Amino acid sequence: MVAAVKKDHGCVFGMTSAAFPMPSTRCWWWAQARSARHMANLRKLGVQRLAAVDPDAERLRPATEELGIAGFPDLVRRWLLFRPQISFYLHSSRFHVEHALQALRADADVFIEKPLSHCLDGVGKLSSEASNRERVVQVGYNLRFHPGNTDAEEVDDDGVAGRILWARAEVGQYLPTGGRAGLPAELYARRELGGGIILDASHEIDYVLWLLGPAVELVCMAGKC
């Protein structure tokens, strides 16, 4: 699902599963160990002009050595030397809005891995900037496209199950072994880095609202066990 901010020029500020660059597009990636897999997928789609940024040379290595992608240690050199048309952000959510604003002001479209941010500070400015510059900002919630969820949507749309009165989504992760490749477990736990299960598990919140419609009441319980 994509929410349009301004329909007359197609500026988008919403949620989708992926961005769809053309083969000639210059794409930049905030690199992590797992980013090499994503960039390899872009290559398969025909995108050849790719670059990655990470101050950690070891995290850059899979992209630069295995895929031959240009690597930069900082954002300034990336903008000066590469000038991407699309920027992908898959790093700590506390930096998402700040870095996405930089991309928009350099006339690049933006794809952000969920969540959009760890707080709402600057989100309104990001939306306005995207609209004013006629740029696209998309937030990835790919579980909407999981076969189980798409099947559930069909069942719901067809009315086979009748009126759904109650639903429960349950998810868990063991950080020492279940964290994403190349990312320290502390990113999932430290609030100042944008971590925390309520934000990191927002896939479930997203697809439940997608399947069942907007919430009319919100209740949250959080604690340590």
Same domain, 10 and 45: yes
pLDDT category at 132 given cuts 50, 70, 90 is: very high
pLDDT category at 78 given cuts 50, 70, 90 is: low
Same domain, 94 and 176: no
Same domain, 94 and 44: yes
Same domain, 120 and 207: no
Same domain, 132 and 150: no
Q: Is residue 225 part of a domain?
A: no
Same domain, 198 and 167: yes
Same domain, 138 and 208: no
User: In this structure, what CATH number is given to the domain that contains residue 83?
Assistant: 3.40.50.720
Average pLDDT over residues 49-77: 80
Same domain, 135 and 147: no
Q: What H or E segment, with its residue span, contains residue 27? A: strand 26-30
Alpha-carbon distance values, 22 to 115, 116, 159, 164, 191 (Å): 25, 24, 38, 41, 37
Q: Among 142, 165, 198, which residue terminates a domain?
A: 142
Residue span of the structural domain in which 117 resides = 4-142
Same domain, 202 and 170: yes
Same domain, 132 and 154: no
Total structural domains in the chain? 2
Same domain, 10 and 116: yes
pLDDT, tens only, 32-53: 445 677 788 888 888 878 888 8
Read off φ and ψ for residue 17, nearest 5 degrees. Answer: -85, -25
Nearest to 14 by CA among 125, 106, 130: 130
pLDDT category at 136 given cuts 50, 70, 90 is: very high
pTM of the model: 0.75
Q: Among 113, 142, 171, which residue terminates a domain?
A: 142
| Cα(40)–Cα(75) distance, integer angstroms | 22
Q: Is residue 48 part of a domain?
A: yes
